[in-house]
Structure 1
């Protein structure tokens, strides 16, 4: 009652500060004196808390297994790419560290050749491998050429999940043409991303668009070259998508050098069909039949429904550990979504759409003792604006990883400050005192700047932490010298050493 009376007489700011501190320094039954490290963090947070954005924070002492500090830890916020930590754990649990994707080329029976003509049907089974490339498929089909095949009279069947949605709910429409939002599918080739280059040449500087590698997409180029001046300082390009990987590029271009473009495929099935036809043509194998996509409703790599099929060649991906490293270091959205979708398919033993994949994440984590409670899970990459997680959810996930040695490779795959991934060149993380001291997953989008992982303080102890900052104004972000997480971690490097935790 005395506390309430004091709050009524004090300012709102003082009350908020007092209530935040009480979350750390008071237990439900009795008040205890905060440790030196808790006081240290509280003083930092009170000093650097931003005026216009919302902060959620949790810090855990790994050695003492003790919560050092938390602020708004149970508040649901947008996690952005920090979500990939949860996806990594679920994939590791369901698929295992040594899991590999397999793309399989089969025929309906033993190869039957008549005058270099293959009379069999060919089945190419896609597995949703996010690392599969055009070159990998070329090597598979080249195996037929080496067996003397110059012509195929049968059909080519591409097997995969042709029915599920390609993008999770909550992905921003503006992002869908960009490769970091490429569609998720059983049919993934070169990360469902096509490279192109826009340039201007000749006396009239007419623009030209070249699709690299002669990939089977169509782009109508309606751009104009404009000499740079203050009047056209906002010279922008706009890519509009149509059906069947057809696009229209409009706007103006004012650069002296060519401009690289990365275009996300919008129809993975159509693209895969055309790519396979192109590869057969490049291998100088004539196709007399049709190229058809078949929906495979059975579990991945299960061909028991067609026992007459005989495998002629396979391509295997790198192990999950290697795929996860790229996913976490580069914050690769397609890899995250593919891993979660594959995890759902193996978990349930059947094809799974992206909605079911999101449900699988919650289910598997719950079985591991990580209750997501009121959280909303829309995807595995964190690109969806519909995701809602708390700092406590992420901290509990990190605690589980730290406490189980078989999952330590997930932490090892996180970006290292000043060395690898998204922290290699990040401002203030690439210099002392943070360089080489922080391994963490970044999470950034408009209005969001998050970081979660582990840091080593100057006292020699290691801590796991989660920093969520939502509602960050783009204007403020552009003007600030250092991010909130950088400022906080710089100060946390001087964390006092606490030998005996409070009991």
Structure 2
């Protein structure tokens, strides 16, 4: 009898535990569902019932207004206009907001419009000495540029380029170098009166290491081997942001490239093992007149650089675009000179007031950047209506559910009718670009949210919902 009572108690406890566990799982699932699908967005139907295009535009505006009024966090600015200059919806469109990576839309527009889609980064080689019987009695000089592929250390392709340089030097008759490798980074500092040391042109950036090799990754991360539950070994790399290959690093431009070239030349037996890289930047004491031009290497086109800048949202590429503008137009590859080019373009070409922006960099990483949604829309409009490079600019933008930073967003049958740029830094989410609706109405849109704290998921869902509504016009 006691055994039966004891067994009944055990069964009762076990059943209670199972019921509680089931309730906890269901509650957790419900909470996940709530987090993923905000109530205000779920309540808004994505169908537009108007029979005419004008009716659907008005209905769409009402629904966007409903969504914005029900939001619980942050401040927003929205500007949506058609190619016919009709305003579908506007909310605080002339207020200044932190744009995050939406600033890349402006940087890349100015770069491709002023430099041209076919512009290529150039790296020059000179010799400082005499070449006789295959031996260079002197130094090999590498003139650094703002080429984003070569000036950083985030792309394994740099090794292929360097190996090609070694072969090219041989074709030019250089089999042995009895000197050092000189890296001249004067492109970054221009013809300043005061000499600038090589160390003074260092800068910080958030770099994307998705295309880096193991050697490049080892510069910025720690690796350790762990055992999994099934007893297998797994290599874990620490030092990057969660679920990404982004990392804040300090760059001394072209140094990694020069060191890689030196190592390749030494491995090929073309330079002594004790040879080194001598880094110089602008100085009036250096006599460059005795240098003899050898050849130039031309890297990726600007059109290709824009794809990395906008589709992948590469911050380093964007800031290098800005430095390139400064170098090509003012002889100084700096952020400051690049911003002067951008401001002149916005004033003289896009014809917007200087009150609509405050710019600090080209990538949007800084929280000191401010633009209006109206400015972004006007930039997008200018590129469509006036730029000869519009096709390359348009195709550099991400396609929802297909590629880039929009690969998993705006799940809609007409998502391929959108080309847009995302943006995200702490407390900021943005989305701007081009859109063609179901009825063929073409439009520009810019949606920027600030003051979100560390919660941006709902703001992104809001952006996606607005785009889905616009597609139904």
- For residues 333-352 of structure 1, the aligned pairs below 5 Å read 333-348=315-330, 350-352=331-333
Q: Which structure 1 segments of 5+ residues have no match?
A: 1-33, 169-175, 181-189, 197-210, 229-253, 299-304, 496-503
Q: Which position in structure 2 is the counterpart of 1:292?
A: 278
Gaps (5+ residues) in structure 2? 1-52, 151-157, 189-197, 239-244
SS of structure 2 residue aligned to 1:378:
coil
1:258-302 deviations in whole A, cap 9, x for unaligned? 13465665342554453333222222223365521121479xxxx
How far apart are the structure 1 equivalents of 2:163 and 2:200?
26
**Corresponding position: 1:158 with 2:183:** yes
Q: Over residues 210-248 of structure 1, what are the superposed CA-to-partner deviations in whole Å (9 max), with x where a residue is unaligned? A: x469x7x597x69796989xxxxxxxxxxxxxxxxxxxx
Q: Does 1:55 align with 2:33?
A: no
Q: How does 1:121-140 map to 2 (within 5 A)?
A: 121-132=139-150, 133-140=158-165
The question of whether the paired residues in 2 share the 8 Å contact of 1:106 and 1:311 is answered with yes
Q: 1:389 to 1:147 in 2, by over 3 A?
A: closer
- Answer yes or no: is 1:276 the counterpart of 2:261: yes
Maintained 8 Å contact 1:136/1:315? no
- Equivalent runs, 1:353-372 vs 2, <5 Å: 353-372=334-353
Q: For the residues of structure 2 that align with 1:95 and 1:164, how far apart are their CA atoms?
A: 27
Classify the secondary structure of the residue corresponding to 1:83. helix
Cα offset, 1:491, TM superposition: 1.6
- TM value normalised by structure 1: 0.69
Tell me the distance in 2 between the aligned counterparts of 1:376 and 1:38.
32
Give, in angstroms, the shift of residue 87 of structure 1. Answer: 0.5
Question: Partner of 1:266 in structure 2?
Answer: 250
Determine if the alignment matches structure 1 residue 463 to structure 2 residue 443. yes
Structure 1 residue 140: Cα displacement: 1.2
The secondary structure found in structure 2 opposite 1:466 is: strand
SS at match of 1:60: strand
- 1:143/1:313 contact within 8 Å kept: no
Question: C-alpha distance in 1, partners of 2:87/2:367?
Answer: 29
Cα distance in structure 2, aligned partners of 1:35 and 1:194: 50
**CA distance in structure 2 between the partners assigned to 1:414 and 1:393 by the alignment:** 18
TM-score by length of 2: 0.73
| 2:396 pairs with 1:413 | yes
Max radius of gyration: which structure? 2
Q: Provide closer, same or farther for how the CA distance between residues 48 and 91 of structure 1 changes in structure 2, counting only shifts above 3 A.
A: same
Does the aligned pair in 2 maintain the 1:376–1:388 contact within 8 Å? yes
Tell me the C-alpha RMSD between the 2 structures.
3.3
**1:79-108 per-position Cα deviation (integer Å, ceiling 9, x unaligned):** 011101100121123212211111122213
* Cα contact 2:94–2:372 (8 A) shared by 1: yes
CA distance in 2, matches of 1:481, 1:46: 14
Q: Distance in 1 between matches of 2:382 and 2:232?
A: 50
